Amino acid sequence: MDHGDKAATVNRLKSIAGHVNGIAAMVEQDRYCIDVIKQIQAAEAALAKVSQIILDKHLHTCLTTAVRGDDPDERERVLAEISDVFSVTNR
User: pLDDT (tens digit, 9 = 90+) per residue, 42-80?
Assistant: 999 999 999 999 999 999 998 899 889 999 999 999 999
Q: What is the pLDDT of residue 61?
A: 92
What's the mean pLDDT when you consider all of the chain? 93
pLDDT band at 3 (very low <50, low <70, confident <90, very high): confident
The burial class, CB within 10 Å (0-12 / 13-18 / 19+), for 9 is: middle
With CA atoms as reference, report the closest residue to 79 among 5, 71, 53, 50: 71
pLDDT band at 85 (very low <50, low <70, confident <90, very high): confident
Q: Kindly list the structural domains of the chain, giving each domain's residue range(s) and its CATH number in brackets, ordered by start.
A: 3-89 (1.20.58.1000)
